[in-house]
Amino acid sequence: MQAAANAVQDHMGPLPTVVNPEYKHRTDGSTMKALAWFGTKDVRVIDAAIPDITEADDVIVKVTGTTICGSDLHLYHGEIMTMQKGDILGHEFMGVVDRIGPNVHNLKPGQRVVASFQIACGECEYCKKKLSSFCDRTNNSSLQNAMYGQRDAGFFGYSHFTGGFPGGQAEYVRVPKGNVNLLPIPDGISDEKAIYLSDILPTSYHAVVDTGVEKDDVVGIWGLGPIGLCAARWAQLKGAKRIIGIDAVPERLAFAREKLGIETIDFKEYTDVTKRVYEMVPRGLDVALDCGSFHEPKSILHKVQKTLMLETDVPETINEMIVSVRKMGRAGIIAAYAGYANGVNVGALMEKGVRLIGNGQAPVHKYWEEILNDYIIPGKFDPTFVITHRVPIDDMAKLYAAFDTRQAGVEKVFVETKFSSKPDPGCPLTTRVDDWKSKN
């Protein structure tokens, strides 16, 4: 699939953008550790050239914290088109400003910053509204444009389908348009509290706000990974009356019950999820949130269709949501999807008047200041509840395998570099992925 998609993209040629994804290297030839993709389930920590200022709006960030996201698993499984061998992955990171381009006036070397996972231009119609993930001018993928009619912003470390920008699972990152894509972090806020402003906090918040969770709603959440857990917490803060989380990983179900006090459904125990939802909530859910994964089919039907490439994406969760919500209920898709799915229950969608909402890639710029100032600083939302492990960047390749198979109750991981501070009190201490395995 990758070869064919790359050939199509090459044939169409790149679309014009205001940023160039390729970076200049430091002239002294110095290198850094970075995680690169080489094929399905083949990622490696390599020595890569350290980026230098390439365009006048660039900032080079020395990374003090990075992580892995459920979205990276789609790349790991080769499910996103136009990956190329050697691509540096990672789209959630923070650090210290190392170098700034001549056009950057709002940041200075030494300042602590978080990067948004999307690279926005800051000036287009979407950026003016802070809808940074929808920026029109930073993604050169003609393939995405042909498939979707339009294209998202460029993203860090997320294939050439989203612009081909080297990512943040590295010791240094070049941040194009650094003047808009970096948020300064006050001294009193630890790296563990700040880093997730890059993605999972705005993403889970967007899922809840954009799908319209209101006071007294009964909310179902498919997938209890970091996004699902944070969405549950936001739904609680918005006044949801009941929250039901659906997953099959025993540690994740237990984590949701114990840390958040929500109800759960184990879809391996209750194979008919919608039946179980109606046993628990006879009226149906007010809101359903898809925080799962499009590449994990449950039924033989979809396993076969996906294997035969009759569909790229699996609609099982979408169908369960459409059936489980009440008439005129809302169902939001924040989980990533890439292409086409067969057998969507369009009848129930229409007849019940279900508001099915594609939430899109979350516009981080719209929410990150609000989340920092109104929730993290006053202590209303402590993102560290979701961190289960901390590992060094040397273990990044092993972390992909462990996170993919959800070993040792892993939820969110803080990945440290040689530039990281010591773990903040109360947060996980450094472990090695090999040691998690031996405990299983």
* Residues at the site binding ligand NAD, with contacts judged by CB under 6 A: 69-71, 73-74, 199, 203, 222-228, 246-249, 252, 267, 291-293, 296, 298, 316-317, 334-336, 359, 361-362
Least Å distance between CB 312 and Zn ion? 19
Quote the CA–CA distance of 50 and 30 in Å, as a whole number.
6
Residue 121's binding partner among ligand NAD, Zn ion, none (Cβ under 5 to 8 angstroms by kind) is: Zn ion
Residue number with CB closer to ligand NAD (113 or 321) = 321
Comparing CB distances to ligand NAD, the nearer of 48 and 80 is: 80
Residue 199 as a binder of Zn ion (CB under 5 A): the answer is yes
Pick the closer one to Zn ion by CB: 202 or 284. 202
Least spacing, CB of residue 144 vs Zn ion, in Å: 15
Does position 127 bind Zn ion by CB under 5 A?
yes
Residue 109 beta carbon to Zn ion: minimum distance, rounded to whole angstroms: 26
Counting contacts by CB under 5 A, is residue 152 touching Zn ion?
A: no
Give 355's strand partners: 330
CB of 26 to ligand NAD, least distance (A): 31
CB of 209 to ligand NAD, least distance (A): 13
Among 71, 82, 211, 319, binds Zn ion (CB under 5 A): 71
225 binds, among Zn ion, ligand NAD, none (CB under 5 to 8 A by kind): ligand NAD
Nearer to ligand NAD, 92 or 395 (CB): 92
Task: Sketch the per residue contact string, 332 through 371, with Zn ion: x for CB under 5 A, - otherwise.
Answer: ----------------------------------------
Q: Binding marks (x or -) toward Zn ion, 18..57, rule CB under 5 A?
A: ----------------------------------------
Total residues contacting Zn ion (rule CB under 5 A)? 9
Q: Over the range 76-91, which residues count as b (16 or more CB within 10 Å of their CB) and which as e?
A: bebbbbbbeeebbbbb
Select 199 or 416, whichever has its Cβ closest to Zn ion: 199
Q: Considering beta carbons, is residue 71 or 236 the nearer one to Zn ion?
A: 71
- Per-residue HEC secondary structure of the chain comes to CHHHHHHHHHHHCCCCCCCCCCCEECCCCCEEEEEEEEECCEEEEEEEECEECCCCCCEEEEEEEECCCHHHHHHHCCCCCCCCCCEECCCCEEEEEEEECCCCCCCCCCCEEEECCEECCCCCHHHHCCCHHHCCCCCCCHHHHHHHCCCCCEEECCCHHHCCECCCCECEEEECCHHHHEEECCCCCCHHHHHHHHCHHHHHHHHHHHCCCCCCCEEEEECCCHHHHHHHHHHHHCCCCEEEEEECCHHHHHHHHHHHCCEEEECCCCCCHHHHHHHHCCCCEEEEEECCCCCCCCCHHHHHHHHCCCCCCCCHHHHHHHHHEEEEEEEEECCCCCCCCCCCCHHHHHHCCCEEEECCCCCHHHHHHHHHHHHHCCCCCCHHHHEEEEEEHHHHHHHHHHHHCCHHHCCEEEEECCCCCCCCCCCCCECCHHHHHHHC
Nearest distance from residue 59's CB to Zn ion, in Å? 17
380-384 long-range contacts, Cβ below 8 Å, gap at least 24?
380/237, 381/201, 381/233, 381/234, 381/237, 382/193, 383/192, 383/193, 383/196, 383/200, 383/201, 383/230, 384/190, 384/192, 384/193, 384/424, 384/426, 384/427
Residue 98 binds: one of Zn ion, ligand NAD, none (C-beta under 5 to 8 A by kind):
none
User: Residue 100 or residue 349: which is nearer to ligand NAD going by CB?
Assistant: 349
Residue in this structure with the two tokens 């294209």, named with its chain if needed: 151
Residue 333 C-beta: closest distance to ligand NAD, Å = 8
Indicate which single residue of 48, 61, 69, 371 sits in contact with Zn ion (rule: CB under 5 A): 69
| Least distance (Å) between residue 384 CB and ligand NAD | 16
CB of 192 to ligand NAD, least distance (A): 17
Residue 116 binds which entry of Zn ion, ligand NAD, none, with Cβ cut-offs from 5 to 8 Å by kind?
A: none
Binding of Zn ion by 413 (CB under 5 A): no
Which CB, 127 or 143, lies closer to Zn ion? Answer: 127
Kindly state the smallest distance separating residue 49's Cβ from ligand NAD, in Å.
28
Binding residues for Zn ion, rule: CB under 5 A, are: 69, 71, 120-121, 124, 127, 135, 137, 199
